[in-house]
């Protein structure tokens, strides 16, 4: 079954809760209402002819301009080799959606990652904790407005550019070296040349002046 | 937000709470497991990841599309070619560029060689975790030669940065083809030597057979992919069932777990599927070298990659499972969202639910057979 | 087919260093052998008295602290035996690393001395210089004392093991019984170290090791009963004297149950020595180092010393019981008596024959040590419940059966002695055949690998 057909069947079953399939500008997706996502997923898993048994990916995209955090579900079916992409738009100020962990266990860890990096709360999740970041981390990094806190438990996360720092250390060392061994004072200027030599003798070839010390 | 609640350790019997890691010889990478055990039998093993989190997904939003390619290497440095390829395919879908045939063949060759190398590390470390050290040295010996081949091809031994948007970076050097064929001739007998050494060893089969069985339904439900899924008996391989690149031109078998040492879906099945996949990869490389077409190695891609707004997903069969890249573009030079869904992350998710009732020694076998690596889990 | 070009010595190395290095390689085993042959037989009363009287001209009976002198002599013999075990342990560590490397197509230590022979000295010195750590929350006294229990256990076993016709520190009448008893001393040391480290991983390893060693003492004891029944004595030298030099006079071949008992004993000794496939206690990939994870420096070295000296004990024990010990083919008790001469101090021929007997014993022991090393680097590790199943469900019943069979066999053998001789020849022929088939299969395996050749160039 193609994505369009699945979408049609989905709309027949759930009507208003399923939005239109986006234009196939690359991959197409359908936006569904967040409060019916669990029913929809359960229906998709069981519906004969559709039987989507594989939650391939569950992730989120942050759209501050539209003030939503989209939770994206990539679904796939092994028996029928078809799939569909669903999206749920959650309010950015308080992103909450019900978990689909009861439908596919794969959602367990995928939702934990979305919670960790985006801050989306999944109600009904058996174990909603941060997965990658430490438990006492503040903030949700993959949001567009995330500011780094400048350190974690006293470990700074900014440091000088190593090249700059090494150059500074080099200059310090050179200054100390010069202070310890000062260069010899430059020689006094040469006495003015004697009276013009007798006419007829060609002038002595002058050596070019010594190159200035670096 | 809920805090992790570990059951209070009962002092009357032998319950302990042990930290398995993060520095440990047999967790593959920097991983930590909190293990509640009752003597030798575990009650639960809770994975604790994040030690190798390098915010690669956030970096994808900062560097441009071509500039992200070296970062994809680090998403899974043991199978870096696949990460490169998946990203390249995703961007090519976005900007609607067609990759020339020769480049697709070169991609397939480099990826299959990398698959052999990655599986060698996987089965070698698995044998070491079970206690036999010699197979690891044999595996690394074979892998060194692949590293040399790939170094001749693209200049790097581990993080290749070889694929580009629209093709590959370099063509085969002169004489490389003969070297690869010579290596494969050697490798085919090495795989059999490996089987004679360790695979059919009684102790090995006893350690892995029937241990940590993941049934078909569980494997699909938990989102496993790649050799983990095939080890549980599901006959699915993206190279054959949703082909991409040059794979439709090749003939190869897909090994599926059959319960060789016990039950379908146990650790031995997942292990042996990998061993057989190595032999199949060698077949693919031979066919690709034979049929290699002439042509360009990269398509014409503008210097500044600026796709239209939209999103795309690409799925490839990586060494550790299905690697899917989900790119969202907003019409600028920088991606809006780069998401890499890796096979190891889903495999970590299943450990907590499979572990009750296993012994500590079996936990080691389970982690090794699922082939979880820290970079893929944490990104 | 084989190319002999040695990488040692590197051109440019000073001849003095080359000479010193090769000299060390040859001198150390020679020194050990001489120590064993010349010192240990002397400390026993008859030889000691004879030596003092004839060679030194004094009469021990007139001394004041005669008994103390004898005791001191025994003490010296014990020290010599311990030194021998320690140095042999060091040499085995070198040997194991080279053999393991060869099996893995690597080279192994080859820098420190000829072929890396002095590597173990370098390692021991390095460990001596390391910081002596006692973990903060560990029980300091027991933590410090635990390694010495393990060392004591090993040494106590050593003093009852023979190495040559007169080379045994204490030939007890109940030698085997004594050895079985003091092997358990090692268990005490392991539990103490695991507990006092105050670390869960150490405790884990210690408990596993304890369960393993205690369990495997049962099949070992049952297997030991078989040669004891055949010889009729518990003394180690007596067991060897009941065998002969030729292979068909060894206990292994004389009784089919003895062959079975040999394998039971071998497996049990592997388990007691914590060698793979039974090294769960120190499983590097699970417990890092098990009961000695918290140890560093020289205490760590002591544990490893015991592990490698245990190799000698495993080999020596099995050789004593089943493979004829130091018996030289063709040399009977009459030959020994004839060579000894009639004086109270033995003639030079006797001493030479002692060397030969030591050589025979060492050869058999080294063969078994080789097998142990070979097994370690080939086989994976078994799990603890599988290990327990093997012990209690397979080895113990088999040991019982072997012992019962031997009881009946001994009765038959006493009535009809020729049965033993015939069985020995049959079992010997079967063993030779099996070995030959094994070598044929090995050769076939090697030839199946397209790229491998026997290559000695990097030795």
DSSP assignment of C111-136, as one string?
Answer: SSSGGGTTHHHHHHHHHHHS-----T
User: Directed axis angle between helix B267-290 and helix B360-370, to 10°?
Assistant: 20
Please give the pLDDT value at position A200.
Answer: 45
CB contact under 8 A, B49 and A132: yes
At residue C261, what are phi and psi to the nearest 5 degrees?
-65, -35
Checking B169-177 for CB contacts under 8 A at 24+ apart, the result is: B169/B297, B169/B298, B170/B297, B171/B106, B171/B297, B172/B106, B176/B149, B176/B152, B177/B289, B177/B292
* Helix, strand, coil in percent for chain B, rounding step 5: 50, 15, 35
pLDDT band at residue C8 under the 50/70/90 scheme: low
Over residues B185-240, the pLDDT tens digits come to 889 888 888 888 888 888 899 889 888 899 999 999 999 999 999 999 999 999 99
CB B66 within 8 A of CB B293: no
Please give the pLDDT value at position A211.
Answer: 42
Please give the pLDDT value at position B1.
Answer: 42
Q: Please check the confidence at residue C244 and state whether its pLDDT lies above 50.
A: yes
pLDDT band at residue C288 under the 50/70/90 scheme: low
Please give the pLDDT value at position B150.
Answer: 92
| % residues pLDDT > 70 (chain A) | 86
User: In B142-265, which ranges are E strands?
Assistant: 163-164, 167-168
Rounded-to-integer distance, Cα C181 and Cα C185, Å: 8
Mean per-residue pLDDT over chain B, rounded: 88
At residue B314, what are phi and psi to the nearest 5 degrees?
-125, 140
B contact set with A (CB within 8 A): 1-4, 49-50, 53, 55, 57-58, 93-94, 218, 220-223, 234, 236, 241-242, 308-313, 315, 322, 324, 326, 328, 336-337, 339, 341, 345-346, 348-350, 353, 378
Over residues C115-174, the pLDDT tens digits come to 888 899 899 899 889 888 888 887 788 888 888 998 999 999 988 999 888 888 888 889
Q: Please check the confidence at residue C234 and state whether its pLDDT lies above 80.
A: yes
- Closest CB to B132: pick one of C201, C380, C385: C380
Task: Mean pLDDT check: name the lowest of B48-62, B327-341, C16-30.
Answer: C16-30
pLDDT band at residue A214 under the 50/70/90 scheme: very low
Nearest CA in chain C to B361: C383
Strand-strand pairing, A82-91 and A68-77:
antiparallel
CB A36 within 8 A of CB A85: no
CB contact under 8 A, B223 and A54: yes
Rounded-to-integer distance, Cα B38 and Cα B16, Å: 6
Task: Mean pLDDT check: name the lowest of A107-116, A135-144, C97-106, C450-459.
Answer: C450-459
Torsion from C-alpha of C406, C412, C418, C422, nearest 10 degrees: -40
Reference B101, options B296, B342, B372; nearest CA is: B296
Q: Which residue has the tokens 């042996």?
A: B272
Please give the pLDDT value at position B39.
Answer: 73
Please give the pLDDT value at position B10.
Answer: 55
Q: Please check the confidence at residue A209 and state whether its pLDDT lies above 50.
A: no
Between the alpha carbon of residue B11 and those of residues A27, A181, B16, B17, the distances in Å are 56, 71, 9, 11
Residue B162 bridge partners (DSSP): none
CB contact under 8 A, B26 and C450: no
Please give the pLDDT value at position C389.
Answer: 92
Over residues A183-195, the pLDDT tens digits come to 888 887 776 655 4
Rounded-to-integer distance, Cα C271 and Cα C267, Å: 6
Q: Two tokens at A8?
A: 């049609």
Rounded-to-integer distance, Cα B78 and Cα B136, Å: 15
Mean local confidence (pLDDT), A137-155: 85
Q: Please check the confidence at residue C7 and state whether its pLDDT lies above 70.
A: no
Q: Two tokens at C123?
A: 């390692």
Contact of chains A and B by CB distance (3 or more pairs under 8 angstroms): yes
Rounded-to-integer distance, Cα C350 and Cα C338, Å: 9
Please give the pLDDT value at position C3.
Answer: 42
Please give the pLDDT value at position C289.
Answer: 63
- Closest CB to C200: pick one of B16, B190, B207: B16
Q: In the complex, which subunits touch A with 3 or more CB pairs below 8 angstroms? A: B
**Which of B38-52, C243-257, C357-371 is modeled with the greatest confidence?**
C357-371
Please give the pLDDT value at position C5.
Answer: 45
Considering only CA atoms, give the Rg of chain C: 24
Rounded-to-integer distance, Cα B16 and Cα B9, Å: 7
Reference C165, options C30, C367, C311, C333; nearest CA is: C333
Q: How many CB pairs under 8 A join B and C?
A: 95
Over residues A159-176, the pLDDT tens digits come to 778 898 899 999 999 999
Let me know the angle formed at the C-alpha of B318 by B186 and A59, rounded to the nearest 5 degrees: 170
Rounded-to-integer distance, Cα C279 and Cα B361, Å: 12
Please give the pLDDT value at position C132.
Answer: 80
pLDDT band at residue C436 under the 50/70/90 scheme: very high
Q: Please check the confidence at residue C459 and state whether its pLDDT lies above 50.
A: no
Strand-strand pairing, A30-32 and A82-91:
parallel
Considering only CA atoms, give the Rg of chain A: 36
Please give the pLDDT value at position B91.
Answer: 92
Q: Please check the confidence at residue C10 and state whether its pLDDT lies above 90.
A: no
pLDDT band at residue B4 under the 50/70/90 scheme: low
Reference A52, options A98, A106, A94, A93; nearest CA is: A106
* Interface predicted TM-score (ipTM) of this complex, two decimals: 0.87
- Cβ neighbours of B24 in C, within 8 Å: 288
Q: Please check the confidence at residue B85 and state whether its pLDDT lies above 80.
A: yes
Over residues B176-188, the pLDDT tens digits come to 999 999 899 889 8
Over residues B265-317, the pLDDT tens digits come to 899 999 999 999 999 999 999 999 999 999 988 888 888 888 888 888 999 99
CB contact under 8 A, B339 and A29: no
pLDDT band at residue C2 under the 50/70/90 scheme: very low
Q: Which residue has the higher pLDDT, C358 or B131?
A: C358
Task: Mean pLDDT check: name the lowest of A129-133, A153-157, B252-256, C54-58.
Answer: C54-58
Nearest CA in chain B to C100: B134
Q: Two tokens at B329?
A: 């573009």
User: Directed axis angle between helix C417-448 and helix C396-415, to 10°?
Assistant: 140
Over residues B129-139, the pLDDT tens digits come to 888 889 999 99
- Closest CB to C380: pick one of B185, B186, B201: B201
pLDDT band at residue A12 under the 50/70/90 scheme: confident
Q: Please check the confidence at residue C456 and state whether its pLDDT lies above 50.
A: no
Q: CB-based contacts of A50: which residues, under 8 Å, 6+ apart?
A: A1, A6, A9, A44, A77, A80, A82
Reference B83, options B101, B71, B65; nearest CA is: B71
| % residues pLDDT > 90 (chain A) | 19
Please tell me the pTM assigned to this model.
0.86
Q: Two tokens at B319?
A: 């060494």
CB B183 within 8 A of CB B150: no
Let me know the angle formed at the C-alpha of C247 by C242 and C253, rounded to the nearest 5 degrees: 75
Rounded-to-integer distance, Cα C135 and Cα C143, Å: 9
Mean local confidence (pLDDT), B99-112: 93
SS3 B342: coil
Please give the pLDDT value at position C369.
Answer: 93
Q: Please check the confidence at residue C286 and state whether its pLDDT lies above 90.
A: no
Checking B157-161 for CB contacts under 8 A at 24+ apart, the result is: B158/B73, B158/B77, B158/B78, B158/B80, B159/B70, B159/B73, B159/B74, B159/B77, B159/B80, B160/B73, B160/B80, B160/B81, B160/B84, B160/B110, B160/B114, B161/B69, B161/B70, B161/B73, B161/B80, B161/B84
Q: Which helix (H) or strand (E) holds B35?
A: strand B32-38
Mean local confidence (pLDDT), C170-184: 88
Please give the pLDDT value at position B337.
Answer: 92
Q: In the complex, which subunits touch C with 3 or more CB pairs below 8 angstroms? A: B
CB contact under 8 A, B26 and C285: yes
Mean local confidence (pLDDT), B102-119: 94
Residue A26 DSSP symbol: B
Mean local confidence (pLDDT), C423-427: 88
Please give the pLDDT value at position C53.
Answer: 77
- Closest CB to B26: pick one of C104, C208, C286: C286
Give the DSSP per-residue string, B239-306.
HHHS--TTGGG----------TTSSTTSHHHHHHHHHHHHHHHHHHHHHHHHTPPPS-SB----SS--
Mean per-residue pLDDT over chain C, rounded: 84
Over residues C333-350, the pLDDT tens digits come to 888 888 877 777 777 888
CB contact under 8 A, C380 and B360: no
Let me know the angle formed at the C-alpha of C36 by C33 and C37, rounded to the nearest 5 degrees: 85
Q: Which residue has the tokens 């029980």?
A: C139
Please give the pLDDT value at position A110.
Answer: 92
Please give the pLDDT value at position A21.
Answer: 75
Rounded-to-integer distance, Cα C320 and Cα C227, Å: 10
Please give the pLDDT value at position C60.
Answer: 65
Q: Does A13 touch chain B (CB under 8 A)?
A: no
* Distance, CA of B266 to chain centre: 19
Q: Which helix (H) or strand (E) holds A121?
A: strand A121-123
Mean local confidence (pLDDT), A83-108: 89
Please give the pLDDT value at position B118.
Answer: 94
- Cβ neighbours of B353 in A, within 8 Å: 105
Q: Which residue has the tokens 């539209």?
A: A66
Please give the pLDDT value at position C449.
Answer: 73
Rounded-to-integer distance, Cα B114 and Cα C240, Å: 59
């Amino acid at each position: 079954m193609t994505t369009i057909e699945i979408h049609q069947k989905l709309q027949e079953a759930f009507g208003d809760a399923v939005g239109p399939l986006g234009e196939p500008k690359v991959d197409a997706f359908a936006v569904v209402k967040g409060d019916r996502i669990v029913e929809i997923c359960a229906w998709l898993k069981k519906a004969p002819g559709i039987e989507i048994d594989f939650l391939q990916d569950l992730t989120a995209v942050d759209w501050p301009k539209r003030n939503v955090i989209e939770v994206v579900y990539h679904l796939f079916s092994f028996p029928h080799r078809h799939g569909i992409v669903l999206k749920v738009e959650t309010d950015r100020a308080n992103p909450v959606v019900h978990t689909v962990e009861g439908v596919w266990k794969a959602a367990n860890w995928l939702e934990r990652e979305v919670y960790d990096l985006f801050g989306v709360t999944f109600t009904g999740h058996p174990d909603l904790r941060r997965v990658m970041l430490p438990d006492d981390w503040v903030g949700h990094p993959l949001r567009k407005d995330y500011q780094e806190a400048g350190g974690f438990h006293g470990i700074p996360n900014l440091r000088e550019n190593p090249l700059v720092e090494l150059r500074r250390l080099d200059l310090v060392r050179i200054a100390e070296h010069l202070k310890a061994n000062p260069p010899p004072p430059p020689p006094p200027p040469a006495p003015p040349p004697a009276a013009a030599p007798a006419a007829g003798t060609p002038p002595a070839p002058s050596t070019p002046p010594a190159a200035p010390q670096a | 937000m809920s805090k992790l609640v570990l059951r209070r350790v009962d002092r009357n019997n032998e319950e302990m709470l042990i930290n398995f890691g993060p520095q440990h010889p047999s967790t593959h990478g920097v991983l930590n497991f909190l293990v509640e055990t009752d003597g030798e039998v575990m009650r639960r093993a809770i994975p604790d990841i994040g030690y190798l989190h390098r915010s690669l997904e956030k970096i994808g939003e900062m560097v441009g599309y071509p500039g992200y390619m070296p970062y994809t290497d680090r998403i899974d440095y043991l199978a870096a070619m696949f990460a490169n390829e998946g990203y390249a395919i995703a961007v090519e879908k976005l900007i609607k560029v067609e990759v020339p045939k020769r480049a697709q063949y070169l991609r397939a060759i480099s990826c299959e060689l990398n698959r052999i190398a990655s599986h060698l590390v996987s089965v070698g470390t698995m044998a070491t975790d079970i206690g036999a050290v010699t197979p690891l040295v044999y595996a690394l010996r074979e892998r060194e030669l692949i590293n040399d081949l790939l170094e001749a091809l693209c200049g790097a031994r581990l993080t290749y940065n070889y694929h580009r948007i629209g093709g590959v970076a370099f063509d085969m050097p002169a004489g490389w083809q003969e070297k690869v064929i010579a290596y494969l001739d050697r490798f085919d007998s090495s795989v059999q030597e490996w089987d004679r050494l360790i695979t059919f060893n009684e102790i090995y089969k006893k350690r892995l057979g029937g241990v940590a069985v993941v049934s078909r339904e569980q494997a699909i439900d938990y989102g496993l992919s790649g050799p983990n899924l095939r080890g549980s008996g599901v006959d699915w391989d993206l190279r054959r069932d949703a082909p991409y690149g040059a794979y439709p031109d090749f003939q190869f078998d897909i090994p599926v777990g059959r319960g060789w040492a016990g039950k379908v879906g146990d650790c031995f099945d997942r292990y042996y599927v990998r061993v057989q996949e190595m032999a199949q990869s060698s077949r693919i490389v031979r066919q690709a070298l034979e049929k290699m077409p002439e042509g360009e190695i990269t398509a014409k891609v503008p210097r500044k990659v600026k796709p239209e707004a939209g999103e795309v997903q690409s799925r490839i069969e990586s060494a550790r499972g299905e690697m899917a890249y989900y790119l969202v573009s907003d019409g600028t030079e920088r991606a809006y969202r780069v998401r890499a869904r890796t096979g190891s992350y889903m495999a970590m998710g299943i450990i907590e639910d499979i572990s009750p009732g296993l012994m500590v020694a079996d936990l080691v076998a389970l982690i090794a057979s699922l082939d979880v690596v820290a970079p893929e889990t944490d990104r | 087919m084989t190319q002999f070009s040695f990488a040692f010595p590197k051109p440019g190395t000073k001849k003095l260093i080359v000479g010193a290095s090769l000299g060390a390689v040859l001198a150390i085993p020679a020194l050990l052998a001489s120590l064993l042959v010349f010192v240990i037989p002397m400390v026993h009363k008859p030889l000691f008295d004879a030596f003092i009287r004839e060679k030194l001209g004094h009469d021990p009976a007139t001394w004041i602290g005669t008994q103390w002198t004898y005791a001191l002599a025994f003490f010296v013999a014990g020290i010599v035996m311990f030194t021998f075990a320690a140095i042999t342990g060091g040499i085995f560590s070198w040997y194991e690393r080279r053999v393991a490397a060869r099996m893995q197509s690597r080279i192994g230590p080859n820098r420190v001395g000829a072929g890396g022979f002095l590597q173990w000295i370098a390692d021991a010195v390095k460990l001596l210089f390391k910081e002596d750590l006692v973990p903060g929350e560990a029980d300091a006294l027991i933590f410090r004392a635990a390694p010495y229990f393990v060392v004591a256990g090993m040494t106590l076993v050593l003093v009852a093991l023979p190495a040559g016709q007169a080379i045994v520190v204490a030939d007890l009448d109940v030698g085997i019984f004594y050895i079985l008893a003091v092997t358990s001393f090692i268990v005490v040391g392991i539990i103490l170290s695991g507990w006092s480290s105050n670390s869960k991983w150490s405790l884990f390893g210690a408990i596993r090791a304890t369960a393993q060693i205690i369990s495997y003492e049962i099949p070992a004891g049952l297997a030991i009963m078989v040669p004891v029944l055949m010889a009729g004595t518990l003394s180690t030298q007596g067991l060897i004297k009941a065998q002969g030099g030729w292979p068909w006079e060894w206990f292994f071949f004389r009784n089919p149950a003895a062959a079975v008992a040999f394998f039971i004993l071998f497996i049990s000794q592997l388990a007691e020595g914590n060698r793979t496939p039974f090294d769960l206690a120190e499983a590097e990939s699970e417990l890092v180092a098990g009961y000695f994870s918290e140890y560093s420096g020289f205490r760590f070295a002591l544990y490893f010393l015991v592990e490698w000296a245990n190799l000698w004990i495993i080999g020596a024990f099995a050789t004593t019981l089943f493979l004829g010990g130091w018996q030289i083919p063709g040399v009977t008790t009459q030959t020994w008596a004839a060579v000894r001469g009639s004086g109270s101090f033995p003639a030079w021929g006797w001493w030479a024959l002692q060397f030969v007997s030591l050589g025979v014993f060492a050869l058999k022991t080294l063969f078994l040590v080789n097998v142990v090393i070979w097994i370690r680097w080939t086989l994976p590790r078994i799990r603890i419940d599988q290990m327990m199943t093997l012990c209690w469900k397979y080895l113990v019943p088999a040991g019982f059966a072997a012992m019962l069979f031997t009881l009946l066999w001994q009765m038959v053998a006493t009535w009809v002695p020729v049965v033993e001789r015939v069985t020995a020849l049959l079992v010997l022929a079967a063993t030779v055949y099996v070995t030959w088939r094994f070598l044929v299969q090995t050769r076939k395996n090697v030839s199946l690998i397209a790229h491998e050749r026997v290559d000695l160039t990097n030795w």
